[in-house]
Amino acid sequence: MLFKNSSEVVSCGMFSIEHFILLAITVICIVIALKETRNLEKNEVKRIIKKSTIILWILEIIKIIFNIKNYGFKAINKYVPLYFCSLVLYAGILSGYCKGKLKRTGDVFLSTGGIIAGITFLLIPLTSLTNYPAIHFISIHSFILHGMMVYIGLLMLMTKYITIEKKDIIYYSATIVIISSIAYIVNLIFDSNLMFISQNYPGTFIEVIYRLSGKLFPIVMVLIQATLPFYIVYAVDKQFENKNNGKETKRFVEVTNKEDILNEVK
């Protein structure tokens, strides 16, 4: 059951009871994990990133073997890890094992694009539950992967492991553009649709972009992926930062006023 071909099983589909159960379990795990680790030091957060990256790569290799065994080497779309969500695998290596600009590049993607990609998939698991039942390796792997993406990204922001700056868009966009360029070349050679930038994806929001953009579809898709996720997280993070700064300022003023009153009484 866990490793059967999609033709041998019945998919549970999106927005089904099974989907909501997997979603609920994943959200609960994320909340518990964040509650237990939100006060960790930076070196401990880095240790989590490194261990998580190793786990995700092991699962990814198992997924690749499964897909090649069941669908063959020609099924490029199924096993080559060149999708937006796959970038967490490379970002984890950069963040956990590199230094300088390479590390910053990994940190930025994990704390921005990783969160958006993870949340989007958990809500709309197009590539797993539409083809497999909930109790299947591909389905379980996909929820583990995207759940960990959300957890790691939020943990980095909550612990201030990284403070996102507007100029970080350079690191983020460069990552997307480089990977998209590689994916586009592979797509041209093998008629695949890695990074979802070469062909339509009927029945999804990508189809809307495909119809509106026409021949510019690859460029538009790359631009959207290279900007929107970063700016969404950046904007939300700054909102929380300003809100917290406002609370701290108010608390400081209240304490100062109390001290002034006590000094006057004395």
**Prediction pTM value:** 0.90
Q: What is the pLDDT of residue 168?
A: 98
Could you give the percent of the chain with pLDDT greater than 70?
92
d(CA 224, CA 93): 24
Q: What is the pLDDT of residue 60?
A: 98
Q: What is the DSSP string of 201-248?
A: -TTSHHHHHHHHHGGGHHHHHHHHHHHHHHHHHHHHHHHHHHHHHHHH
pLDDT, one tens digit per residue, over 84-128 is 999 999 999 999 999 999 999 999 999 999 999 999 999 999 989
Alpha-carbon torsion 38, 41, 43, 44, what sign?
negative
Average pLDDT over residues 69-83: 96
- 242 — pLDDT class (breaks 50, 70, 90): confident
- 240 — pLDDT class (breaks 50, 70, 90): confident
Task: Say yes or no to pLDDT of 260 above 90.
Answer: no
pLDDT, one tens digit per residue, over 19-68 is 999 999 999 999 999 999 999 999 999 999 999 999 999 999 999 999 99
d(CA 195, CA 153): 21
d(CA 205, CA 201): 8
